[in-house]
Amino acid sequence: MPSVLESLRILSEPTRLRLLLLLDRAELSVAELQEILSMKQSRISTQLGLMKSAGLVQLRRSGKNSLYSFDPRASGLRDLLRASADELSEGRQDRQALDLALRKRSDLARAYFDQLAGKFGRSYCPGRSWKGLAEALLLLMPRQVIADLGAGEGTFSQLLARRAGRVIAVDSSPEMIAFAARAAKESGFTNMDFLLGDIESPPLPDASVDLAFFSQSLHHAQQPARAVKEAWRITRPGGRIVVLDLLRHDFEQARELYADVWLGFGEAELYGFLDDAGFGDIHIHTVDRESEPPHFQTLMAVAEKSQT
């Protein structure tokens, strides 16, 4: 049995408490803990080392992986540990991130697709391209009402409008809206509307669209969680949301170069936005990594608004 006083001293530090609460629920690697907590590997490893020395966590080797879990010898502290969970401000977010990490671990289909995607396009095959695949998939899209939130110059809106019943492009820049409207008219689109408004309060009625789309616009929002909640408001029951954005990065120059407010988002963070807003059946994947520095990665999230 670990020293009670030493255990209480160690658990008085919030990071160690968060780690132990996670390890009480699942056996996890350092890499998974990094993703869940959005912390550096060195910080997590240091805290795990302290708790292992104190007899609070145990280590198991599995191939090249080191897996940590709650040490059953400290079971006397378990009730106190679990009682503290509701008082920890990050507790709910950590549980959501853990659920996502465990889902990803068991997602064999995703692992297969990642392997396949890595090979696609590396060797020449006449007539096979991402553009051709995208064109085919676009034709399978139902004729929905789509809100393109943060539409910018409207290029993506026009792509959607080729198949959608109606596309409503929303942007906070009068110049962008004017340019997008002119470009759509010149291209002959008649199923597009252009509205001046903020993605955190889009000028659309409740339950008025089938699909809310954020294409590299959410990281420009002052309050991205609010923007996602507004997307839930304007989406019809049974409708969906799609978010394409950057995975969290440390390229600070993006704030000046691209007027970015947020340096991307973590998968667990985006999952939390969607879950808190009321969306369900949430799927999040990192779908692309640029070959040139700073190697931006693209995060895609798809979720559904319940019929009830």
Q: What is the CATH number of the domain that holds 185?
A: 3.40.50.150
Claim to verify: residue 286 and residue 139 sit in the same structural domain: yes
Claim to verify: residue 142 and residue 46 sit in the same structural domain: no
Position 119 confidence tier, pLDDT thresholds 50, 70, 90: low
Asked, for residue 121, whether it belongs to a domain, the answer is yes
Reply yes or no on whether the pLDDT at 125 is more than 80: no
Reply yes or no on whether the pLDDT at 9 is more than 90: no
Claim to verify: residue 139 and residue 194 sit in the same structural domain: yes
Claim to verify: residue 192 and residue 265 sit in the same structural domain: yes
Claim to verify: residue 63 and residue 132 sit in the same structural domain: no
Highest mean pLDDT among 4-18, 64-78, 129-143, 269-283: 269-283
pLDDT in tens, 40-80: 999 999 999 999 999 999 999 877 788 999 998 888 888 88
Claim to verify: residue 74 and residue 199 sit in the same structural domain: no
Claim to verify: residue 216 and residue 156 sit in the same structural domain: yes
Q: What percentage of the chain reaches a pLDDT higher than 90?
A: 65
Asked, for residue 97, whether it belongs to a domain, the answer is no
Domain boundary pick from 90, 123, 139: 90
291 contacts: CB under 8 Å, gap ≥ 6: none
Mean pLDDT of the chain: 89
Asked, for residue 49, whether it belongs to a domain, the answer is yes
What's the CATH code of the domain at 17? 1.10.10.10
pTM for the whole structure = 0.72
Structure tokens at 105: 């671990």
- Rounded Cα distance between 306 and 303, Å, is 10
Average pLDDT over residues 4-10: 83
pLDDT in tens, 212-254: 999 999 999 999 999 999 999 999 999 999 999 999 999 999 9
Domain boundary pick from 90, 117, 152: 90
Range of the domain at 44: 4-90
Claim to verify: residue 34 and residue 142 sit in the same structural domain: no
> Cβ distance 236 to 207 under 8 Å?
yes
In this structure, are strands 297-304 and 235-246 parallel, antiparallel, or unpaired? antiparallel
Claim to verify: residue 196 and residue 84 sit in the same structural domain: no
- Rounded Cα distance between 119 and 87, Å, is 47
Closest CA to 120 of 288, 295, 2, 276: 288
Q: What percentage of the chain reaches a pLDDT higher than 70?
A: 92
Domain total of the chain: 2
